[in-house]
C-alpha cells in the first residue's frame, strides 16, 4: 500500500520557510497499535527491503532501481541533514523495526506546490487498518499546527487500496495526471487528491 509523495534520494529543499515542519524536532506519534518514530540510519536495511518489494515499489514514482541499503541510508541522511522540509516517520508496531514509511514534505515546484503526504507499508501488514491509523494520526498532528494549509497526495490508478485510505480520511479527487514511474519504466495515470482541515475525517 503506497502513495506517491515518498521520494527517496531526492533533494527537495526550497530554502528557509516561516511556517514549516522540521525533521530535527518532529514529535513521536503513538496510536492504539503503532508508534511513528523518526527515521534513523539503521533503518536503511528495512527501507531497502520495502523498495525491493514489487508490490510496494511499483506504486511509487521516483524510486531508484535497483535499490539497495545505501540508497536507504541516503534517504535517511537527506532528512537528517535538513535537505527536505517536513516530517518523515518509520511506521512501527512497537517502536522497533520499520514496517513502512509515512512522510509529509514541502515542494515548491510542480503544478501543486505545497505539502504532500506519502506512505508505504510492507505487504505482510496490509488489510489490517494500519495505514489509515498512521495517516490519521499524522494528519491530525499536521493540522494542529498547519490548520490553514492544504495537504496533497497522489495515487497510481491501479492502487485502489491507497485511494480508499485517502477517501476515508476526507481527501477529495481533484483530477488526474500522467507521470513516469521509474520502477515500472513507463508512464502511468495518477489520481490527484487533496485535503483541508475542514474536510479531514480522523479514522
Q: What's the grid cell of residue 197?
A: 482541515
User: Which H or E run includes 101?
Assistant: strand 100-107
93 in a structural domain:
yes
Burial of 170 (0-12, 13-18, 19+ CB in 10 A): buried
43 in a structural domain:
yes
185 in a structural domain:
no
pLDDT of residue 5: 53
CATH code (residue 143): 3.40.630.30
Question: Could you tell me which residue, 4 or 177, shows the higher pLDDT?
Answer: 177
Looking at the structure of the chain, the number of domains it has is 1
Residue 92's domain comprises: 2-149
31 in a structural domain:
yes
54 in a structural domain:
yes
98 in a structural domain:
yes
- d(CA 130, CA 62) in angstroms, rounded, equals 24
CB atoms < 10 A from the CB of 54, how many?
10
187 in a structural domain:
no
CB 115 within 8 A of CB 14: no
User: Which H or E run includes 179?
Assistant: strand 172-181
Compute the average pLDDT of residues 165-172: 98
pLDDT of residue 111: 85
199 in a structural domain:
no
pLDDT in tens, 13-69: 444 444 789 999 999 999 999 999 999 999 999 999 999 999 999 999 999 999 999
- d(CA 83, CA 15) in angstroms, rounded, equals 9
- d(CA 121, CA 133) in angstroms, rounded, equals 12
pLDDT of residue 6: 54
CB 134 within 8 A of CB 122: no
Q: Is the pTM of this model over 0.85?
A: yes
CB atoms < 10 A from the CB of 24, how many?
9
- d(CA 150, CA 153) in angstroms, rounded, equals 10
DSSP state of 135: H
pLDDT in tens, 88-146: 999 999 888 999 999 999 998 788 999 999 999 999 999 999 999 999 999 999 999 99
Amino acid at each position: 500500500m503506497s502513495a506517491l509523495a515518498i521520494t527517496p534520494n531526492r533533494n527537495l529543499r526550497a530554502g528557509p520557510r516561516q511556517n514549516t515542519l522540521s525533521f530535527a524536532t518532529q514529535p513521536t506519534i503513538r496510536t492504539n497499535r503503532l508508534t511513528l518514530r523518526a527515521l534513523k540510519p539503521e533503518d536503511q536495511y528495512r527501507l531497502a527491503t520495502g523498495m525491493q518489494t514489487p508490490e510496494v515499489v511499483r506504486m511509487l514514482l521516483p524510486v531508484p532501481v535497483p535499490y539497495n541499503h545505501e540508497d536507504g541510508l541516503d534517504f535517511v541522511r537527506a532528512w537528517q541533514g535538513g535537505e527536505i522540509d517536513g516530517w518523515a516517520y518509520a511506521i512501527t508496531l512497537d517502536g522497533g523495526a520499520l514496517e513502512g514509511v509515512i512522510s509529509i514534505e514541502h515542494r515548491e515546484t510542480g503544478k501543486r506546490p505545497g505539502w504532500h503526504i506519502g506512505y508505504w507499508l510492507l505487504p505482510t501488514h496490509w488489510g489490517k487498518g494500519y495505514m489509515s491509523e498512521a495517516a490519521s494520526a499524522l494528519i491530525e498532528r499536521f493540522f494542529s499546527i498547519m490548520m490553514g494549509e492544504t495537504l496533497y497526495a497522489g495515487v497510481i490508478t491501479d492502487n485502489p487500496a491507497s485511494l480508499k485510505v485517502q477517501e476515508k480520511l476526507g481527501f477529495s479527487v481533484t483530477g488526474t495526471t500522467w507521470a513516469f514511474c521509474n520502477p515500472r519504466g513507463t508512464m502511468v495515470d495518477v489520481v490527484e487528491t487533496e485535503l483541508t482541515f475542514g474536510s479531514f475525517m480522523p479514522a
